[in-house]
Chains A and B, each alone.
Chain A
Amino acid sequence: MKSLAELEAIRNKTINAMNIRKDGENGIRIVVGMATCGIAAGARDTLNAISEELAKRNVSHATVSQTGCIGMCRLEPIGEVLEPGKEKVTYVKVDREKAVRIVNEHIINNKPVVEYTIGAVEK
């Protein structure tokens, strides 16, 4: 076990930062389907790739979370981007690489990656 003192240092650092940051309220939500088919198709890595990329790029206007079954087994892993005032964008078969592109192009640069969306794949 690494030292709990280290954890305490992280706690203190976070408390200081908490007073400055206040976001996520009206931000973008990304959700990843994590039912059995999602997990089997690699959703755990997708989820991790998204949160790592958000952290790496210091994105504070978007959060990623899990949801249950989205109901389209063969298109898993599925990620949905929910933005207040906009239509939901559904990405399918999202692997690590696609996840990184979605964060950079859609979340950061505001340009959805059309070729990965369910509409483009189902055509």
Chain B
Amino acid sequence: MKELSLHVLDIAQNSITADATLVEIEIVEDTKKDILTITVKDNGKGMSEDFLKKVRDPFTTTRTTRPVGMGISLFESAAKSTGGQLLISSALGVGTTVTAEFVHSHIDRQPIGNMADTFLTIINTKPEIDYVYTHKFNGAEFTVDTREIKNVLMEVDITTPDVLVWLKENIEQSLNDIMGGKQ
């Protein structure tokens, strides 16, 4: 993957496949502590303890179209290559939380990339469920929550092109605001 936002897209697709109805994405950047963490939390079907032990192995998958899975192992190597780590907690019937920790300034840390596109793509994957994206940068933060948006839209689909354009501009502008123009 070229950007961390593509990993986010892929990991969130796991949550959707696991029948989540709420997927929460949080990115926290702390340049003083030199940490970047990305968390994808869902309320999907979860994984058993046994399965969780082997899920980082690329040969672990429940998909039927090919013998190897790899989203999680790719995300883990991206974190590890910066001196960070990947944490997964999961419980059957409760949900799953995947957290990747990166050393912010590490030369091998991939750029975050286009989170607006990733968020829009996730919404389009399954518009019926809800998504929250929070981004924190050195104490400043913003959140976008599809439940709030749907409350305003009522019978209008969240995938209406004009709505998506509004959402994209909203995310881009908000990211720019919290970073004080550093993006």
Contact = CB atoms under 8 A, between A and B. Distances in A.
A7 B13 contact: no
Interface stretch (B24-32, B35-43, B97-105, B146-154): B146-154
B9 A68 contact: no
A71 B64 CA distance: 10
A97 interface: no
Interface residues of B, number: 37
Contacts of B9: 34, 39, 44
Contacts of A2: 166, 169-170, 173-174
B152 A7 contact: yes
A104 interface: no
Contacts of B124: 47, 65-66
Contacts of A35: 13, 63, 65
Interface in B104-155: 117-118, 120-121, 124-125, 142, 144, 148-149, 152-155
Interface string A1-27: 110101110110111001000000000
B162 A68 contact: no
B16 to A, nearest CB: 10
Interface in B145-183: 148-149, 152-156, 160-163, 166, 169-170, 173-174
Pick from B17, B69, B153 the residue with the most CB of A within 10 Å.
Answer: B153
Interface in B60-98: 63, 65-66, 69-71, 74
B19 interface: no
Pick from A44, A65, A73 the residue with the most CB of B within 10 Å.
Answer: A44
Interface residues of A, number: 29
Contacts of A7: 149, 152-153, 163, 166
Interface in A50-70: 51, 55, 65-66, 68-69
Given A15-B155, A65-B124, A68-B65, A48 B117 contact: yes
B102 to A, nearest CB: 18
A11 B152 contact: yes
A40 interface: yes
A6 B166 contact: yes
Nearest to A48: B117
Contact of A1 (B17, B63, B170): B170
Contacts of B121: 34, 44, 47-48, 66
